[in-house]
């Protein structure tokens, strides 16, 4: 009888167990009840509007920070949706806000700028600006974020926190993300999500990766000058910058083949070389060359930059020449994109609920650069890929191609994805707080 009794001191502890169990069940039910496919259905209903917005942006591409027409279009749409925003941020960027205005705060980012390319795709909504084209899909990123703004605005009373929408200029070489950060675009954001269209995946499929995802990048150019230029008939008495440049380029390749850890990803590519020769029988007074550096770690790119300078200076000294090295600080080095592990789990959960587990594919590391990395240096961030491949309509060409073409069926999918990533992030934090 004594073994079966419950003392008065143990009763409160046991009473806590059902309460904790109920809270856990409620939290689990919260995830089970949440269905982002509702967002997808709503976004599909907005498809005509999304296509119209994207085509207006595509027809009028703008570069770097000069996004006056693009920014004006976005602001008009935000005004019609009655969404508050700050402008200008980073010259032509916009930061909109939806929700309670209180923590937690999550950010969504889309880049807006085009490329200096002549569009070679003949269709009704081809670029109207010679030499400029949305060849990287930023017009679709911007449209999808605007679509997410519309979805979230309809559900703002349900948001358990705040969503900040970052419409960013100058991703293509201008480090617009860094300028956005300097001007307070992140606010009190605790996490940030971004995405990029991918022609390697069928439309509607997603790619995810945790950890290192995209390369840190940097560019350089070198000018090697002869101290004593002369005729090619007097090679014994002159200094030859062609020979010095050739030896230097070969020596630079040894950095990758003989110094870099082969288990780490490093790239050093010389992409151009030219001389100041005016006649075939004269040794030129100088030779110029340049290229790109890439690494999957920010430390790696810093090491490559340091070694490049040492090798160039050493080789030109051996050949009795002078070297000028330009690391193009006006086009800042981009850090590596490194996806947060916890946000990876969150993204995979949302994506599988949105499009089904069979359409969520493991992504691979790529050596392209992306200034989204600057945000990840400040707060946890996650960058994912969304497929646009459709051979029937020609959506197969890689980004930065003058033949790049977008399957517009991706627009509502991306809109719903942006909205679901933010909404479920806030919901998860709300559930954790209740627990």
Give the residue numbers of the binding site: 136, 138, 172, 196, 400
Helical (H) or strand (E) element with 388: strand 381-389
Over the range 177-205, which residues count as b (16 or more CB within 10 Å of their CB) and which as e? bbbbbeeebbeebebbbbbbbbbbbbbbb
**Whole-angstrom distance, CA of residue 59 vs CA of residue 67:** 13
Count CA within 13 A, CB hemisphere, residue 336.
24
Over the range 304-337, which residues count as b (16 or more CB within 10 Å of their CB) and which as e? bbebbeebbeebbeebebbbebebeeeebbbbbb
**Whole-angstrom distance, CA of residue 412 vs CA of residue 353:** 16
> Residue 208, Cα to own-chain centre: how many angstroms?
13
Backbone angles phi, psi at 5, to 5 degrees: -80, 155
Report strand pairing: 105-111 vs 191-202: parallel
Closest CA to 103 of 22, 190, 16: 190
**Whole-angstrom distance, CA of residue 141 vs CA of residue 347:** 17
> Residue 19, Cα to own-chain centre: how many angstroms?
44
Report strand pairing: 216-226 vs 93-99: unpaired
Q: Binding site for Mn(2+): which residues?
A: 136, 138, 172, 196, 400
Q: What is the 3-state secondary structure (H, E, C) of 250-263?
A: HHHHHHHHHHCCCC
Tell whether omega for the bond before 299 is within 30 degrees of 0, i.e. cis: no
CA angle (153 as vertex; 151, 155 as ends), nearest 5: 75
**Spatial contact of 130 and 60, defined as CB atoms under 8 Å apart:** no
């Amino acid at each position: 009888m004594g073994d079966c009794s419950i003392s008065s001191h143990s009763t409160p502890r046991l009473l806590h167990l059902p309460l904790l169990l109920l809270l856990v069940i409620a939290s689990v039910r919260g995830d089970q009840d949440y269905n982002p496919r509702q967002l997808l259905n709503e976004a599909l209903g907005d498809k005509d509007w999304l296509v119209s917005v994207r085509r207006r942006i595509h027809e009028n591409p703008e570069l770097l920070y000069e996004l006056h027409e693009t920014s004006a279009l976005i602001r008009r749409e935000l005004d019609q949706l009655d969404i508050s925003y700050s402008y200008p941020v980073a010259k032509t960027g916009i930061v909109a806000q939806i929700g309670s205005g209180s923590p937690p705060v999550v950010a969504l980012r889309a880049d807006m700028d085009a490329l200096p390319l002549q569009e070679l795709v003949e269709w009704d909504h081809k670029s109207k600006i010679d030499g400029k084209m949305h060849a990287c899909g930023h017009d679709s990123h911007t449209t999808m974020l605007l679509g997410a703004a519309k979805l979230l605005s309809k559900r703002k009373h349900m948001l358990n926190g705040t969503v900040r929408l970052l419409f960013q200029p100058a991703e293509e070489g201008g480090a617009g993300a860094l300028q956005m950060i300097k001007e307070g675009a992140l606010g009190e954001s605790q996490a940030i999500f971004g995405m990029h269209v991918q022609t390697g995946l069928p439309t509607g499929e997603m790619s995810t990766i945790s950890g290192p995802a995209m390369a840190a990048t940097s560019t350089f150019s070198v000018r090697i000058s002869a101290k004593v230029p002369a005729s090619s008939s007097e090679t014994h008495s002159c200094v030859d910058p062609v020979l010095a440049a050739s030896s230097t380029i070969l020596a630079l390749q040894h950095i990758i083949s003989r110094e870099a850890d082969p288990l780490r990803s490093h790239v050093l590519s010389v992409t151009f070389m030219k001389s100041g020769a005016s006649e075939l029988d004269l040794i030129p007074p100088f030779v110029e060359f340049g290229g790109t550096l890439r690494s999957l770690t920010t430390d790696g790119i810093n090491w490559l930059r340091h070694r490049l300078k040492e090798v160039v200076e050493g080789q030109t000294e051996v050949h009795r020449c002078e070297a000028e090295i330009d690391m193009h600080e006006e086009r800042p080095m981009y850090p590596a994109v490194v996806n947060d592990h916890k946000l990876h789990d969150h993204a995979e959960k949302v994506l599988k609920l949105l499009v089904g587990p069979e359409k969520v594919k493991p992504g691979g590391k790529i050596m392209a650069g992306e200034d989204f990395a600057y945000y990840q240096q400040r707060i946890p961030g996650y960058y994912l890929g969304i497929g646009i491949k459709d051979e029937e309509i020609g959506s197969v060409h890689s980004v930065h191609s003058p033949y790049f073409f977008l399957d517009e069926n991706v627009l509502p999918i991306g809109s719903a994805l942006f909205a679901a990533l933010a909404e479920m992030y806030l919901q998860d934090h709300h559930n954790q707080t209740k627990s």
